[in-house]
Every structure is written in structure tokens, then in C-alpha cells.
Amino acid sequence: MIRIEGLKKQFGGRPVLKGIDLHIPKGQATAIVGPNGSGKTTMIKTILGLVKPDDGLIEVNGTRLNGHYEYRHHIGYMPQIARYPENMRVRELFSFIKDLRGREPLNEQELIERFNLAPEMEKPLRVLSGGYRQKVGACLALMFNPEILIMDEPTAGLDPKASHIFKELIQKEKAQGKTILLTSHIMSELEELTDHVVFILEGKIRFNGPMQELIDQSDVKKLEAAVAKMMDTDSEGVPA
């Protein structure tokens, strides 16, 4: 489904990704974890074609990313901080995205109702709170029934009710066999929504496998403790 080989990227001479090799099969729900600045968001953006790598290969559904963009029609993306045209109304944004996609969404009205967005549809995006912007982003990511879901800190800013609704929707997508990539600093959320962990430290993958395997080998009971233990080592795996 997603294949990455030898992925490298640097910004201003500072290496951010240092030769990432990763295969994410179809139907796998994967947590991408690591400390701030480890390269998680940069890797996600290279998969989306938003950042051009310096070296390496990326394939999505067998399509090599080399100027192609059609593969993005199969992806639903929810960024950590969504930036929309400030004067555009929510309804206009939805229409704009539908025109870009070139097809009608599967469950637009259901998502609008679940996230209580109906009263906000005629409001300019500039007046929406951060939480409502996240709700808009969740709707846009989910409403076209994508094969792949990529979510970067998706519940940041959501109130408890909206966060619960979002997690219910992701569980439903997971049950349908969707491929899910999820980053979050809330480890309990990742335990709830994913089964597989990719741990990135200093631009390199330090662990890639079942979540329970990471927990067991760390000799702890929770993902948070396992990740904290992994972070307390240097890039060669030696305790700090």
C-alpha cells in the first residue's frame, strides 16, 4: 500500500530524514510516534507530495511519486493545523473541495450532523475556533470514503464529545479495512485506535512492528511508558 525506501530530507543543511525504509500494508492501522522534531510530520508530508525528498523512493498503491498526483484521490488527510482561506465560508470550502475531488462525497451530511457543523456552514472560516476548524478538517478527510487516512494530531483542540465522535468514526474506518496512519502525543488514543507502531528518533526508524511487541520488549504495561523508554536512549539504542 505504502512503500518507502531510502527516504532522505534536509532543511537548511540539517538532516531531518536519514534514510527511512518503511512498508505499510493495506488495512493496517499504524501509529507514527517519536519526540518533537523527529521527522514524523516531514515523512507524512513527503507521502502526500507536499515536501519533495532529497533522495529515496515512495510508492502509494504501486504508483511511484514522481510528479503524479492522481494517487491523492485515494487519501483523506487531516493536518495538525489546517490553514484555509480566511474569508471563505465553510459551505464554500466544502464545495471547493468537492470540485477539486471531482466527485460527490459519500457521507457529507452525516458528518456535518455528527460534528454539529450545520450552524457554522455559513460562517467565514476566520471566525471559527480551533476546535471547529478541526471538525471541518475531520469532515473533509473522511467524507470521500478514502482508502488511506493520514491524521496528524487529529484530536488537538477537540472537546471531549467531538474527540469521542472522531474516535468512533476512525474505529469504523478501521473495521472496514482502511489503511490508517495516525500521529498523536496522546498515547492512550493511539492504543485505542491503532495496532502497529513506527517509532522515529532523529530521522531514523527505531522500531516498526506490532504495538504489543514494543510494550512487551520494553517490559512495561502501556505504550506511553514504552515510548518514553525508547526516547531515553540515543540514536544507537544506548541508554542516555
**Of all helices (H) and strands (E), which one includes residue 217?**
helix 211-217
- Confirm or reject CATH 3.40.50.300 for domain 2-231, answering yes or no: yes
What does the domain layout of the chain look like in residue ranges?
2-231
Which 3 state secondary structure label does DSSP give 205?
A: strand
Q: Give burial (CB, 10 Å; 0-12/13-18/19+) of 86.
A: exposed
Instruction: Give the model's pLDDT for residue 240.
Output: 41
Q: Which residues of the chain have pLDDT under 70?
A: 233-240
CA angle 138, 72, 163 (to 5 degrees): 15
pTM of the model: 0.91
